[in-house]
Amino acid sequence: MNSIDKAFETQVLNIQKKTGKSLEEIFSVIEKSDLEKHADIRDFLKTVFGLGFGDANTLVHVYKKSLEKPLSPQETIENSVKQIYSGSREMLRSLHDAVMESIHGLGEFEIAPKKTYLSLRRKKQFAMVGPGTKGRIEVGLNMKAVSATDRLQEMPAGGMCQYKVWLQNENEIDDELLSWIRTAYAEAG
């Protein structure tokens, strides 16, 4: 936990001590007030519990956050993919979807969204898919004892993946690529 998270957690605990109420009890008081606007709730908390501006403001943020519906894993992945393929990379989204559809046919695996790509894992990462440079998608693969080709580029040791394949269109999602992906998938687990 970083120092900001720790400070926030300490502030929330101190607010509960000051008020003698748990967060659930404070949230119940807020709900009964029928107030909706941030400033109105903050001023209400200052009055009811004698809190300062900062503590009341923090409570409103925590309360509003508690009302948000948590995203499902699929919604989290979809939001990440939208962000990854935004702006100038938006044109690559259909190619990304086609690659992922072909990989889903292999069986069960976990998708771990990262800032600029998706990590595909079984017991360990077997592939990564994300936008590359020059209007291409990069498919990184982890597998052993496979000979590099002009298309299947071997990467330096210590990197995220052992091999990389660049894709510019759906025609390149062919038997050769799928064979490499199947090999990486099988080796992961």
* DSSP letter assigned to residue 155: P
pLDDT, tens only, 161-185: 999 999 999 999 999 999 999 999 9
Residue reference for tokens 């967060």: 23
- Burial category of 48 from C-beta neighbours within 10 Å (exposed 0-12, middle 13-18, buried 19 and up): middle
Closest CA to 184 of 134, 126, 139, 130: 126
The DSSP string of 38-70 is HHHHHHHHHHHH---HHHHHHHHHHHHHHHSPP
- pLDDT tens column, 92-107: 999 999 999 999 989 9
Q: What is the pLDDT of residues 25-70, one digit of tens each?
A: 999 999 999 999 999 999 999 999 999 999 999 999 999 988 887 7
Q: Where are the domains of the chain?
A: 3-67, 73-187
| Predicted structure pTM score | 0.64
> Residue 173: what residue type?
I
Residue linked to tokens 């050769």? 176
Between CA 124 and CA 109 the distance in angstroms is 10
Is 73 a residue whose pLDDT tops 80?
Answer: no
Q: Tell me the percentage of the chain whose pLDDT exceeds 90.
A: 75
Q: pLDDT-derived band of residue 134, with 50, 70 and 90 as boundaries?
A: confident
